Structure 1
């Protein structure tokens, strides 16, 4: 019987594990893919407090080793479902039934890809899904932001402070984001809107050197010479296995506030998988701390 089972070995999940084991709890971390979450693909991290510069791989590995050395158990297994039994739970994987007193969901969210050739291989070599993480690397260069919502517009605003030129490409003729963001960008001389258009191809062998853009109305294709391609067309949470025990919003995110408590007492949600306004490395770690301590309190209360 574990005190806390944490599903997901990203920044939020591993931070929760650290707080759990330091509180004297028996903690198991389950991960269906690789530890580290999205940050492991970032070549450099420069926005985490107290660490001037580190690769995403180094950061994730250090966090993983810290949790494991403190006593957290790790198992690479995909979780199929969770069942509540009184105040306790059973977590089902493909080959185990794991009883526990509390559960922390830290499953993260995947960036929605464009789906163009070479996109995946260019991640970290010009393709990015986080302007605030990687924007400074493109200082003085040209970049493209793809998307039409608030995130895309905010990314373009952020990048305009570093980049020589920022193209904002949107497949429709109007943005979905807030008008004041559109108005602010319209006033910037180094920002250009490319409407009714989609990116069809990435140019370059070892790094991004440009993109091909197709106008969906005319069919005309244009080549833009850029070094950065920032994709901001949404994220995809993976919380469907848990929808029978917790409440999700329309986008599939777990409904939980800053206390990380879900609709089911004893199940907590931390990091990008939950409803929240800011999804950054620092907020994931903060969620992990909050959820880890909340789970400890739940376990103590029902001991």
Structure 2
């Protein structure tokens, strides 16, 4: 079991990783090879101290080099759900479960808006994970919303299971459903023309999930995670940093919050270990 699991390999997550590495903690950093697509696409970064004026691609290159120099690797696995059970966090990635004592969420902000009914029917016909839930819809009718081309393998997987699929590829300019409808469970979607299309389930494949959808027990307001000054969320032992906690959406802010979140996580671990030690002595 890891001391800390970091979700997101942008500036906030990487900053947290550097701090935890310096403090000799056992951690895992989840993200993608490109680290931050948002930064990678930035034309120019000129307000981060010490690096001068560089392109987003150059800045990502600097981050990769520093990670490599520090011996920190990015685990390229998509986290689909996080639960707090029996005093520990359980992170689900496909059919794999990763355990950690604390979590730092630095996954950024959602790049696509929620579809009406998406949150209401999450777990009742709406899913974010093809490999987790696809088998439930074998021989059924599905609507699939894919934000980027990297989800094409999941689209193909779901299409191989379902009898019929309606695929919306946002990266090709397709318009998403305006509403996901149902009673107890999803039974249809409604498109922009007002047409109601019967479906058994909807898979929304997005680059970044809302933290409150991903981590059960985390509170969000106006699309941002609510934290205190220590970057702790409403769920004890879960911290958040970077764009996901609100504006300004700046690298410098994200780096600072990542550092604070890491130190707070270490403080949380120390208090937890002290309490466990006291309980052991009391037996």
In the superposition, the TM-score normalised over structure 1's length comes to 0.54
Q: Which residue of 2 aligns with 1:107?
A: 107
Structure 1 counterpart of 2:263: 293
Quote the offset at 1:36 in angstroms. Answer: 2.2
Residues 1:77 and 1:247: Cα distance change in structure 2 (over 3 Å): same
Cα deviation for residue 71 of structure 1 reads 3.6
Aligned to 1:278: 248
On the 8 A contact 2:82/2:215 being kept in 1, the answer is no
Following the alignment from structure 1 to structure 2, what is the Cα–Cα distance between the partners of residues 17 and 59? 17
Contact 1:36/1:57 (<8 A) preserved: no
2:229 and 2:250 map into 1 onto residues whose CA distance is 14
**Residues in 2 aligned to 1:256 and 1:54: alpha-carbon distance in whole angstroms:** 31
1:1-303 to 2 correspondences below 5 Å: 1-31=1-31, 34-110=34-110, 238-249=210-221, 251-274=222-245, 276-303=246-273
Q: Matched residue of 2:102: which SS?
A: strand
Runs of 4+ in 1 over 6 A off after TM superposition: none
Q: Tell me the SS of whatever aligns to 2:225.
A: coil
What CA deviation, in whole Å up to 9, does each residue of 1:171-224 have, x standing for no partner?
xxxxxxxxxxxxxxxxxxxxxxxxxxxxxxxxxxxxxxxxxxxxxxxxxxxxxx
Change (3 A) 1:98 1:69: farther
2:43 match: secondary structure: coil
Q: 2:233·2:239 contact (CA, 8 Å) conserved in 1?
A: yes
1:237 Cα offset (Å): 6.5
Structure with bigger helix share is: 2
After TM superposition, give the deviation of residue 244 of structure 1 in Å: 2.0
Distance, in Å, in 1 between the alignment partners of 2:43 and 2:93 is: 32
2:212 and 2:233 map into 1 onto residues whose CA distance is 15
CA distance in 1, matches of 2:235, 2:38: 27
Q: For structure 1, which runs of at least 5 residues remain unmatched after alignment?
A: 114-235
In structure 1, C-alpha distance between the alignment counterparts of 2:232 and 2:63, rounded to whole Å = 24
SS at 2:217's partner residue?
A: coil
RMSD: 2.2
**Aligned CA distance change for structure 1 residues 83 and 112 (closer, same or farther; 3 Å):** closer
List gaps (5 residues or longer) in structure 2: 114-207, 274-283
Secondary structure of 1:6's counterpart equals strand
Distance 1:288 1:298, change over 3 A: same
Deviation at 1:240?
A: 4.6
Deviations 1:84-111 (A, max 9, x none): 1233211111142101111000011255
